[in-house]
A and B are shown apart, each in its own frame.
Chain A
């Protein structure tokens, strides 16, 4: 049986090692900056519950990505619902919920990345983020997102094309996105 201190150290080690990874992955999936602490929290909570089901023969990070993707999807779903409700509200109330834009101090390239990622739907976005940004293999992407390998490749092709197209457009417009 694992000792208390081993369990403690294990979770702490995972947290320390993966915190930045979770944070950046969520950001790339479209979680707004103001919600990143909350959603990161939810991911580790979920991770905590899901760890017993983790198959240690699989690489950890792709599996973790699967966990955080499911949490992020839930969050975005909720976000959309909330926005639909908010659309019916007087402007002043709507504004109360709008956080400050987190653009200040960010480089032009980061802004382009954000715009290009925003321009695609979640199924394409997640494949691009997982494969090209996080560097996971197509096989890992397929397994952790539970989609066929062929689908991974076709989504990746489409996602890359869209990403580059939007990036060019944003560059050409010189920031007037």
Chain B
């Protein structure tokens, strides 16, 4: 090795690594991706009770054991209210670690059947995130609306309250890795209650702007949807739900016939979030646009 190369390698080894914040956020996101931590639970962690670490382990252990793993894990992942209480922000590294550890056990140590847990649980996460966002401080006894979770595991849970599920069934998007990356409260040092409340408030406000847009999309009113989406974009350009907003915007643009802009935004989305879980949905929108184009060009 030449002296120059040697000295540059040495210099590069002195480079600062990732921050502890990076470390914690990636770990939390990993837990969500593995389907064992609803993203909303991480965001809504302020309601946590320190006494629940053992409960968490118990839930996690249940998720990793036995042949009914899939159903149990979906139940565990969907019990947002409880998880929200478990993962106290200052203890998040520990709390998330415990859940993820169980995920690993279910996923790696256990049988292949257990691995489908993650897939099933991910479906539940998409629903539970929304439920948590609208009721971030849900008390431990409150029933949590989880229509998608029930779709994933029909026999697992009793009927959920009707108000949210109806809106949520029209939800055109899923999101799993959205909230943690940008909305997880700061973890280093003491977690101040008002910080968490602020983060929660922002998320609720974001959700409040996107809900009418979602409803407008569901009834095919792209113009109305765009009005709400633009509002969200102005107020929360890099918000926790930015990916969701972009996916909805692309769909709304398609509805109002602005197909070239829809495509342009889809390309931007792809570049910015290359492995977003929302991408398949956007692809579906693009496919619809292509059908419209074909229909137009076929006109006499």
Q: Give residues in A with beta carbon < 8 Å to B.
A: 1-5, 7-12, 15, 19-20, 23-24, 28, 35-38, 40-42, 44-45, 48-49, 51-52, 75, 78-79, 82-83, 85-86, 89-90, 93, 96-97, 107, 109-110, 112-113, 116, 132-133, 160, 163-164, 167-168
Contacts and interface: CB of A to CB of B under 8 A. Distances in A.
7 contacts: A8-B98, A8-B100, A8-B101, A48-B108, A78-B275, A160-B1, A168-B4
B11 A85 contact: no
Contacts of B60: 4
Contact of B108 (A24, A41, A52, A93): A52
Interface centre among B12, B57, B109 (most CB of A within 10 A): B12
Nearest to A44: B30
Nearest to B15: A110
Contact of A20 (B18, B34, B57): B18
Contacts of A107: 11
Interface of B: 1-2, 4-5, 7-9, 11-13, 15, 17-18, 22-23, 25-27, 29-30, 33-34, 57, 60-61, 64, 97-98, 100-102, 104-105, 107-109, 177, 181, 264-265, 267-268, 270-272, 274-275
A41 B26 contact: yes
Contacts, number: 146
A112 B8 contact: yes
A86 B5 contact: no
A8 B102 contact: yes
A82 B267 contact: yes
Nearest to A163: B5
B275 A4 contact: no
Interface of B is mostly: helix
Contact of B275 (A5, A8, A12, A42): A42
B274 A78 contact: yes
Interface of A is mostly: helix
A146 to B, nearest CB: 23
Contacts of A8: 97-98, 100-102, 104-105
A90 B11 CA distance: 40
B34 A133 contact: no
Contacts of B13: 133
A1 B17 contact: no
Contact of B17 (A24, A41, A93): A24
Contacts of B23: 19
B296 to A, nearest CB: 20
Given A45-B30, A45-B33, A86 B268 contact: yes
